[in-house]
Structure 1
Amino acid sequence: MNDTIYLDNKDSITRTMQDITMTFAGKRKVISTSALNGGIRTDLKAAFNHCDKDPKSGQCDMHGATYREHLAYAAKQLGYDAATVTGLSTAAMMKYADVRKASFGGYTVTVVVTGGVYSNGRRAGETATMWEQDEVYHVLEGEGRTSGTVNLMVHINAHLSDGALATVMMVATEAKTATIRDLQIKSCYSKELSSGSGTDGIIVVSDEESEIYLTAAGTDTKLGECVARAVTQALREQLVMQEQYIRGELKIKEVRWG
């Protein structure tokens, strides 16, 4: 499987069995929660979402002493210098990733979503089970560790200010939580409703070469509406499919790309 979507600004989004990669055709401003080149960057060539699960063994293996080193390994497997990309990882299968678009005023928001929350859903503020020291994660004694991740990749072919870029991340997260709560998905750690999973990640990309410059992205704005609508549509589809997959009711082999 090797499918590619070409966007209006000549960027591309390619899906393989193990990865979804956004490749940039020019200068892009990126904000990412990744351990690999996270934060706001303007010097990156691509962003990716990597499936950690080995297709043969079904195991999620760690490559490197830290999560950052693991992501750097994934970047090198994709043919990139790790210093030039940012990325997320998940146990979710790329063939079920969902893509949605929303447009207004000459720009388009493209959202790619993988994963779910049924095995690791939690409400923000609940007692955590992990802690970090020197980039190494530890599970508290007596606690289990389950997988479950919602990864969002948001591409906007407009030039966003730093504040607008951060606001897109906020709005996408609001849309994620609203969708999960609309579906009444409970936390795996309490009787409360989930707000997400314990390992969610997000990457937002804007085009610094675009003539369209935007400084606001809240839910009062059309940009915020486009982001929230695309995230909601894509995530709802992912969560429904994940539940069907868990129950053994999923009939499709893969989700149509683009």
Structure 2
Amino acid sequence: MSSVRQVLHPDYLILLPTTPCKVLSSAVLHGGLQKANALLNMRVEKHSPLPCLAPEQTLLNKAEELALPSPTVGMMTAASMKSLGQHIEKRGDLTVECWVTSGLSNVRRVGDKADDKTEPGTINICLHINQALSDSALAEALILLTESKVTAIRDTDIISPVSGLPASGTGTDSHAVFCPDAEPQHHYCGKHTTLGELIGRAVLEACSTSLGHCFRSMTND
């Protein structure tokens, strides 16, 4: 059984861990290294203007509307929640679970020429590890998550419309790694470790599934 309860709605994905968590993320709301009790991935309309409020205030208002426990880490996306890819990897008492939503209207290759235009298409990823990590291991997990995302994108042969070269993500991707806020059991999670293996497998599978949903949706539109 997962140690994170999820609530999936056409307008959002909520993740509720059973214990208070430590989170490292690039999220709009409560990004950075934080303690949190919930994560929110909120969908906004792609072709509609955002409210006049700042994005973090919009997310905070939504978290309060949904009565989510504070603090909540919040992300935004224009991607459909139907693009959700989810995967769990287990080894003994260790469980790694990943959730991905994908939009590709803003796809880029790292180093592409900047145009200072922010499009709403994005790849948002949340990764939960059921055992506590040190701060440095959380950072290493976030690096491995990103490397796994890039690998999934390359495996799918997605091309940047800016450079015409293989893409590595979108211009507005948001990622979060969270684990129990407790005495660390892991201080490393490189690819040579069991935890690193499980992170890589979970993110690759969830990303691949999500990108597949995204491509099918684009084909059907």
TM-score (norm 2): 0.92
* 1:75 to 2:79 alignment: no
Which residue number in structure 2 is paired with residue 112 of structure 1?
Answer: 99
Which residue number in structure 2 is paired with residue 20 of structure 1?
Answer: 13
**Greater CA radius of gyration, 1 or 2?**
1
Which residue number in structure 2 is paired with residue 7 of structure 1?
Answer: 2
Alpha-carbon shift at residue 94 of structure 1 (Å): 1.4
**Percent of matched pairs sharing the same residue:** 30
Which residue number in structure 1 is paired with residue 109 of structure 2?
Answer: 123
Which residue number in structure 1 is paired with residue 82 of structure 2?
Answer: 95
- Over residues 29-77 of structure 1, what are the superposed CA-to-partner deviations in whole Å (9 max), with x where a residue is unaligned? 11111121111112x2211111112xxxx74442343222222222223
- 2:26 aligned to which of 19, 33, 36: 33
Unaligned ranges ≥5, structure 1: 1-5, 131-138, 140-144, 250-258
Amino acid at match of 2:51: H
Structure 2: distance between partners of 1:153 and 1:239: 15
TM-score (norm 1): 0.79
Structure 2: distance between partners of 1:92 and 1:158: 30
* 1:194 to 2:167 alignment: yes
Segment drifting more, 240-249 vs 184-193:
240-249
Which residue number in structure 1 is paired with residue 51 of structure 2?
Answer: 63
Matched residue SS, 2:216? helix
Alpha-carbon shift at residue 171 of structure 1 (Å): 0.3
Q: Please give the root-mean-square deviation of Cα atoms over the aligned residues, in Å.
A: 2.0
Paired residues of 1:51 and 1:91 also in contact (CA < 8 A): yes
Matched residue SS, 1:214? coil
Which residue number in structure 2 is paired with residue 142 of structure 1?
Answer: none
Which residue number in structure 2 is paired with residue 3 of structure 1?
Answer: none
Paired residues of 1:52 and 1:61 also in contact (CA < 8 A): no
- 2:185 aligned to which of 213, 216, 223: 213
Structure 2: distance between partners of 1:225 and 1:205: 17
Unaligned ranges ≥5, structure 2: none
Structure 1: distance between partners of 2:150 and 2:55: 25
Structure 1: distance between partners of 2:39 and 2:213: 25
